[in-house]
Amino acid sequence: MARGKQIVVVGASAGGIEALRTVVAALPQDFPVPICVVVHTAPEAPGVLGQILTRAGRLPASNARTGERLRPGHVYVSPPDYHMVVEPAKVRVTKGPKENRFRPAIDPLFRSAAQVYGPGVVGVILTGSLDDGTSGLWTVKQLGGDTIVQDPADALYPAMPENAIAHISVDHVVKLVDIAPLLVELTKAPVEAAVARAQAPEQVDVEVKIAMEHNPIEAGLERIAEPSRFACPECHGVLLQLKDGPTTRFRCHTGHAYSVGSLLAAISEQIEDSMWNAIRSLEEGQLLLSRMAEHMKTTHGGQETHRLLARANEARQQSDVIRKLVMQREPLQSASK
Protein backbone atom coordinates (compact mmCIF):
# COMPACT_ATOMS: atom_id res chain seq x y z
CA MET A 1 0.00 0.00 0.00
CA ALA A 2 1.30 3.46 -0.87
CA ARG A 3 2.40 5.56 2.04
CA GLY A 4 2.95 9.31 2.27
CA LYS A 5 6.03 11.23 3.30
CA GLN A 6 7.07 10.72 6.90
CA ILE A 7 9.47 13.57 7.70
CA VAL A 8 10.82 16.90 6.41
CA VAL A 9 14.41 17.87 7.18
CA VAL A 10 15.65 21.41 6.63
CA GLY A 11 19.17 22.87 6.70
CA ALA A 12 20.21 26.52 6.65
CA SER A 13 23.12 28.72 7.64
CA ALA A 14 23.69 32.45 7.09
CA GLY A 15 20.34 34.19 6.60
CA GLY A 16 18.56 31.01 7.67
CA ILE A 17 16.44 32.31 10.53
CA GLU A 18 14.50 34.75 8.38
CA ALA A 19 14.18 32.16 5.62
CA LEU A 20 12.78 29.62 8.07
CA ARG A 21 10.32 32.15 9.46
CA THR A 22 8.99 32.66 5.93
CA VAL A 23 8.58 28.91 5.34
CA VAL A 24 7.04 28.09 8.73
CA ALA A 25 4.63 31.05 8.58
CA ALA A 26 3.07 29.61 5.42
CA LEU A 27 2.57 26.03 6.66
CA PRO A 28 -0.94 24.96 7.75
CA GLN A 29 -1.78 23.95 11.30
CA ASP A 30 -2.58 20.41 10.16
CA PHE A 31 0.79 19.83 8.45
CA PRO A 32 0.93 16.03 8.42
CA VAL A 33 4.58 15.20 9.25
CA PRO A 34 7.30 16.34 11.68
CA ILE A 35 9.89 18.89 10.57
CA CYS A 36 13.49 18.74 11.80
CA VAL A 37 15.61 21.86 11.40
CA VAL A 38 19.33 22.56 11.65
CA VAL A 39 20.67 26.11 11.46
CA HIS A 40 24.36 26.74 12.04
CA THR A 41 24.70 28.43 15.42
CA ALA A 42 27.55 29.32 17.75
CA PRO A 43 27.95 27.08 20.83
CA GLU A 44 27.16 30.01 23.11
CA ALA A 45 23.96 30.98 21.23
CA PRO A 46 20.87 31.28 23.48
CA GLY A 47 18.94 28.55 21.65
CA VAL A 48 15.74 30.53 21.05
CA LEU A 49 15.07 29.51 17.44
CA GLY A 50 12.18 27.31 18.56
CA GLN A 51 10.48 30.28 20.19
CA ILE A 52 11.06 32.42 17.09
CA LEU A 53 9.51 29.82 14.79
CA THR A 54 6.57 29.22 17.14
CA ARG A 55 5.74 32.94 16.98
CA ALA A 56 6.23 32.98 13.20
CA GLY A 57 3.44 30.57 12.27
CA ARG A 58 0.83 28.06 13.37
CA LEU A 59 3.13 25.12 14.18
CA PRO A 60 4.72 24.56 17.60
CA ALA A 61 8.51 24.52 17.56
CA SER A 62 11.02 23.56 20.24
CA ASN A 63 14.59 22.44 20.84
CA ALA A 64 14.83 18.70 20.29
CA ARG A 65 15.46 16.38 23.25
CA THR A 66 16.97 12.92 23.14
CA GLY A 67 14.28 10.25 23.02
CA GLU A 68 11.51 12.71 22.14
CA ARG A 69 8.92 11.16 19.83
CA LEU A 70 8.42 12.74 16.43
CA ARG A 71 4.94 14.23 16.17
CA PRO A 72 3.18 15.47 13.02
CA GLY A 73 3.06 19.23 12.66
CA HIS A 74 5.84 19.88 15.18
CA VAL A 75 9.12 21.65 14.34
CA TYR A 76 12.18 20.18 16.08
CA VAL A 77 15.23 22.46 16.25
CA SER A 78 18.76 21.30 16.93
CA PRO A 79 20.05 23.04 20.10
CA PRO A 80 23.32 25.00 19.96
CA ASP A 81 26.44 22.79 20.12
CA TYR A 82 24.47 19.58 19.49
CA HIS A 83 23.92 17.53 16.37
CA MET A 84 20.38 16.30 15.78
CA VAL A 85 19.87 12.82 14.34
CA VAL A 86 16.72 10.88 13.56
CA GLU A 87 15.90 7.39 14.82
CA PRO A 88 12.71 5.42 14.06
CA ALA A 89 9.83 7.60 15.33
CA LYS A 90 12.08 9.70 17.58
CA VAL A 91 14.92 12.19 17.66
CA ARG A 92 18.27 12.32 19.42
CA VAL A 93 20.72 15.15 20.15
CA THR A 94 24.39 14.28 20.41
CA LYS A 95 27.86 15.72 21.01
CA GLY A 96 29.30 13.92 18.02
CA PRO A 97 32.36 15.45 16.33
CA LYS A 98 31.94 18.63 14.29
CA GLU A 99 31.16 18.33 10.60
CA ASN A 100 32.16 21.07 8.19
CA ARG A 101 33.36 23.03 11.25
CA PHE A 102 29.88 23.08 12.82
CA ARG A 103 27.89 21.40 15.55
CA PRO A 104 25.02 21.31 14.81
CA ALA A 105 25.72 20.38 11.19
CA ILE A 106 23.17 19.68 8.49
CA ASP A 107 24.66 16.51 7.02
CA PRO A 108 24.20 14.26 10.11
CA LEU A 109 20.48 15.09 10.27
CA PHE A 110 19.91 14.46 6.57
CA ARG A 111 21.91 11.20 6.53
CA SER A 112 20.11 9.79 9.55
CA ALA A 113 16.67 10.71 8.19
CA ALA A 114 17.49 9.06 4.86
CA GLN A 115 18.82 5.98 6.65
CA VAL A 116 15.61 5.57 8.68
CA TYR A 117 12.89 6.74 6.27
CA GLY A 118 14.36 6.42 2.75
CA PRO A 119 11.78 7.63 0.19
CA GLY A 120 9.66 9.01 3.03
CA VAL A 121 12.04 11.99 3.44
CA VAL A 122 11.82 15.49 2.00
CA GLY A 123 15.18 17.32 2.31
CA VAL A 124 15.36 21.10 2.01
CA ILE A 125 18.46 23.31 1.67
CA LEU A 126 18.04 27.04 2.28
CA THR A 127 20.36 30.05 2.25
CA GLY A 128 23.88 29.66 3.63
CA SER A 129 27.62 29.88 3.06
CA LEU A 130 29.95 27.08 1.88
CA ASP A 131 28.49 23.61 1.34
CA ASP A 132 27.23 21.88 4.48
CA GLY A 133 24.12 19.89 3.54
CA THR A 134 25.27 18.83 0.07
CA SER A 135 26.48 15.43 1.25
CA GLY A 136 23.36 14.84 3.34
CA LEU A 137 21.00 15.93 0.56
CA TRP A 138 22.84 13.63 -1.84
CA THR A 139 22.12 10.75 0.57
CA VAL A 140 18.43 11.72 0.73
CA LYS A 141 18.33 11.63 -3.07
CA GLN A 142 20.19 8.31 -3.33
CA LEU A 143 17.81 6.61 -0.90
CA GLY A 144 14.70 7.75 -2.75
CA GLY A 145 13.68 10.95 -0.94
CA ASP A 146 12.57 14.24 -2.49
CA THR A 147 15.04 17.13 -2.61
CA ILE A 148 14.27 20.85 -2.55
CA VAL A 149 16.77 23.70 -2.83
CA GLN A 150 16.06 27.39 -2.51
CA ASP A 151 16.72 29.19 -5.78
CA PRO A 152 20.23 30.70 -5.36
CA ALA A 153 19.05 33.92 -7.01
CA ASP A 154 16.45 34.19 -4.25
CA ALA A 155 18.83 33.33 -1.37
CA LEU A 156 20.51 35.93 0.81
CA TYR A 157 23.62 33.71 0.80
CA PRO A 158 23.54 31.53 -2.33
CA ALA A 159 26.61 29.30 -1.80
CA MET A 160 24.85 26.41 -0.01
CA PRO A 161 22.06 26.18 -2.62
CA GLU A 162 24.59 26.55 -5.44
CA ASN A 163 26.76 23.73 -4.14
CA ALA A 164 23.77 21.42 -3.72
CA ILE A 165 22.58 22.11 -7.26
CA ALA A 166 26.10 21.65 -8.66
CA HIS A 167 26.50 18.14 -7.21
CA ILE A 168 22.96 16.71 -7.00
CA SER A 169 20.17 16.21 -9.53
CA VAL A 170 17.80 18.22 -7.33
CA ASP A 171 14.08 17.56 -7.74
CA HIS A 172 12.87 21.12 -7.07
CA VAL A 173 14.69 24.49 -7.21
CA VAL A 174 12.18 27.12 -6.08
CA LYS A 175 11.90 30.55 -4.54
CA LEU A 176 11.56 30.79 -0.78
CA VAL A 177 7.86 31.73 -0.89
CA ASP A 178 7.11 28.60 -2.93
CA ILE A 179 8.71 26.11 -0.53
CA ALA A 180 5.84 25.84 1.96
CA PRO A 181 3.17 25.16 -0.72
CA LEU A 182 5.51 22.59 -2.28
CA LEU A 183 5.98 20.86 1.08
CA VAL A 184 2.21 20.66 1.53
CA GLU A 185 1.86 19.15 -1.93
CA LEU A 186 4.66 16.60 -1.43
CA THR A 187 3.51 15.46 1.99
CA LYS A 188 -0.05 14.91 0.79
CA ALA A 189 0.98 12.81 -2.19
CA PRO A 190 1.53 9.08 -1.53
CA VAL A 191 4.96 7.60 -2.10
CA GLU A 192 4.56 5.28 -5.05
CA ALA A 193 4.63 1.62 -4.13
CA ALA A 194 7.07 1.12 -7.00
CA VAL A 195 9.67 3.19 -5.18
CA ALA A 196 11.82 0.50 -3.62
CA ARG A 197 13.26 1.08 -0.18
CA ALA A 198 16.99 1.17 -0.91
CA GLN A 199 19.37 -0.28 1.65
CA ALA A 200 21.53 2.46 3.17
CA PRO A 201 25.14 1.89 2.11
CA GLU A 202 27.71 1.07 4.77
CA GLN A 203 29.22 4.56 4.51
CA VAL A 204 25.91 6.12 5.62
CA ASP A 205 25.58 3.68 8.51
CA VAL A 206 29.14 4.38 9.67
CA GLU A 207 28.79 8.15 9.49
CA VAL A 208 25.45 8.11 11.33
CA LYS A 209 27.07 6.04 14.08
CA ILE A 210 29.89 8.60 14.36
CA ALA A 211 27.35 11.42 14.71
CA MET A 212 25.72 9.32 17.45
CA GLU A 213 29.00 9.41 19.42
CA HIS A 214 30.36 5.99 18.43
CA ASN A 215 34.13 5.60 18.20
CA PRO A 216 34.91 6.21 14.49
CA ILE A 217 37.39 3.36 14.17
CA GLU A 218 35.06 0.88 15.88
CA ALA A 219 32.19 2.20 13.74
CA GLY A 220 34.12 1.17 10.62
CA LEU A 221 35.66 4.41 9.31
CA GLU A 222 38.75 2.64 7.92
CA ARG A 223 36.53 0.31 5.85
CA ILE A 224 34.88 3.17 3.99
CA ALA A 225 37.78 5.60 3.53
CA GLU A 226 41.46 5.70 2.68
CA PRO A 227 44.25 7.87 4.12
CA SER A 228 44.93 11.22 2.47
CA ARG A 229 47.95 13.52 2.64
CA PHE A 230 46.09 16.07 4.74
CA ALA A 231 45.83 16.71 8.48
CA CYS A 232 42.67 17.54 10.39
CA PRO A 233 42.61 21.28 11.18
CA GLU A 234 40.76 20.54 14.43
CA CYS A 235 42.87 17.77 16.03
CA HIS A 236 45.79 17.43 13.54
CA GLY A 237 45.19 13.72 12.96
CA VAL A 238 45.38 12.17 9.48
CA LEU A 239 42.30 12.82 7.36
CA LEU A 240 40.76 9.88 5.51
CA GLN A 241 39.16 10.49 2.13
CA LEU A 242 35.55 9.51 1.30
CA LYS A 243 33.40 9.82 -1.80
CA ASP A 244 29.75 10.91 -2.04
CA GLY A 245 28.97 10.38 -5.70
CA PRO A 246 30.82 13.20 -7.50
CA THR A 247 32.03 14.91 -4.31
CA THR A 248 35.08 14.24 -2.15
CA ARG A 249 35.01 14.58 1.62
CA PHE A 250 37.40 13.94 4.50
CA ARG A 251 37.07 12.55 8.02
CA CYS A 252 39.72 12.01 10.70
CA HIS A 253 40.09 9.15 13.20
CA THR A 254 38.46 11.23 15.93
CA GLY A 255 35.49 11.91 13.66
CA HIS A 256 35.78 15.51 12.44
CA ALA A 257 34.42 15.72 8.89
CA TYR A 258 35.05 18.20 6.10
CA SER A 259 33.86 18.88 2.60
CA VAL A 260 36.49 20.30 0.26
CA GLY A 261 35.05 23.78 0.79
CA SER A 262 34.99 23.59 4.58
CA LEU A 263 38.49 22.07 4.66
CA LEU A 264 39.83 24.95 2.55
CA ALA A 265 38.09 27.43 4.85
CA ALA A 266 39.63 25.78 7.92
CA ILE A 267 43.10 25.72 6.35
CA SER A 268 42.70 29.37 5.36
CA GLU A 269 41.89 30.27 8.97
CA GLN A 270 44.95 28.33 10.14
CA ILE A 271 47.14 30.25 7.70
CA GLU A 272 45.86 33.58 8.99
CA ASP A 273 46.23 32.47 12.62
CA SER A 274 49.82 31.40 11.92
CA MET A 275 50.62 34.72 10.28
CA TRP A 276 49.19 36.68 13.24
CA ASN A 277 51.23 34.47 15.60
CA ALA A 278 54.35 35.29 13.58
CA ILE A 279 53.52 39.02 13.81
CA ARG A 280 53.04 38.73 17.57
CA SER A 281 56.33 36.85 18.03
CA LEU A 282 58.30 39.31 15.90
CA GLU A 283 56.82 42.32 17.67
CA GLU A 284 57.53 40.80 21.10
CA GLY A 285 61.09 40.15 19.94
CA GLN A 286 61.40 43.73 18.73
CA LEU A 287 60.17 45.10 22.07
CA LEU A 288 62.55 42.86 24.03
CA LEU A 289 65.53 43.80 21.87
CA SER A 290 64.69 47.50 22.29
CA ARG A 291 64.52 47.09 26.09
CA MET A 292 67.84 45.26 26.07
CA ALA A 293 69.37 48.04 23.99
CA GLU A 294 68.26 50.62 26.56
CA HIS A 295 69.83 48.53 29.30
CA MET A 296 73.05 47.98 27.35
CA LYS A 297 73.43 51.72 26.74
CA THR A 298 74.46 52.20 30.37
CA THR A 299 76.47 48.99 30.88
CA HIS A 300 78.17 48.00 27.60
CA GLY A 301 78.45 51.15 25.55
CA GLY A 302 77.23 52.21 22.16
CA GLN A 303 78.44 49.34 19.93
CA GLU A 304 76.28 46.66 21.60
CA THR A 305 73.36 49.07 21.76
CA HIS A 306 73.50 49.72 18.01
CA ARG A 307 73.66 45.99 17.28
CA LEU A 308 70.55 45.27 19.36
CA LEU A 309 68.65 48.22 17.87
CA ALA A 310 69.51 47.00 14.36
CA ARG A 311 68.14 43.56 15.19
CA ALA A 312 65.02 45.14 16.71
CA ASN A 313 64.51 47.18 13.55
CA GLU A 314 64.92 44.05 11.42
CA ALA A 315 62.24 42.25 13.45
CA ARG A 316 59.91 45.24 13.05
CA GLN A 317 60.43 45.27 9.28
CA GLN A 318 59.68 41.55 9.07
CA SER A 319 56.54 42.06 11.15
CA ASP A 320 55.40 44.86 8.85
CA VAL A 321 55.87 42.65 5.77
CA ILE A 322 53.77 39.84 7.23
CA ARG A 323 51.10 42.27 8.46
CA LYS A 324 50.81 43.67 4.94
CA LEU A 325 50.42 40.13 3.56
CA VAL A 326 47.65 39.38 6.07
CA MET A 327 45.76 42.48 5.02
CA GLN A 328 46.09 41.70 1.31
CA ARG A 329 45.57 37.92 1.14
CA GLU A 330 42.34 36.36 -0.06
CA PRO A 331 40.96 33.29 1.76
CA LEU A 332 41.34 29.92 0.08
CA GLN A 333 38.14 28.66 -1.52
CA SER A 334 37.02 26.00 -3.94
CA ALA A 335 35.82 26.76 -7.44
CA SER A 336 32.24 25.99 -6.35
CA LYS A 337 32.52 28.47 -3.47
pLDDT at site 295: 82
**Active-site choice (112, 129, 131, 132):** 132
**Active-site choice (40, 83, 167, 172):** 40
pLDDT at site 50: 97
Q: Which residues contact 215 (CB under 8 A, 6 or more apart)?
A: none
132 is catalytic: yes
131 is catalytic: no
Residues with pLDDT less than 50, the chain: 1, 193-195, 336-337
13 is catalytic: yes
pLDDT at site 304: 82
pLDDT at site 204: 95
* CATH no. of 3-191: 3.40.50.180
Cα-flanking dihedrals φ and ψ of residue 15, to 5°? 80, 5
pLDDT at site 153: 98
Tell me how far apart the terminal alpha carbons of the chain are, to the nearest angstrom: 43
Distance of CA 188 to the CA centre of its chain: 30
pLDDT at site 303: 78
pLDDT at site 1: 43
Cα-flanking dihedrals φ and ψ of residue 47, to 5°? 70, 45
pLDDT at site 334: 62
Q: What's the pLDDT tens digit per position in 97-137?
A: 999 999 999 999 999 999 999 999 999 999 999 999 999 99
Interhelix angle 260-299/302-328, nearest 10 degrees = 160
Spatial distance between the Cα atoms of 96 and 209, rounded to a whole number of angstroms: 9
Q: What is the pTM of this model?
A: 0.88
Q: Which residues contact 213 (CB under 8 A, 6 or more apart)?
A: 94, 95, 96
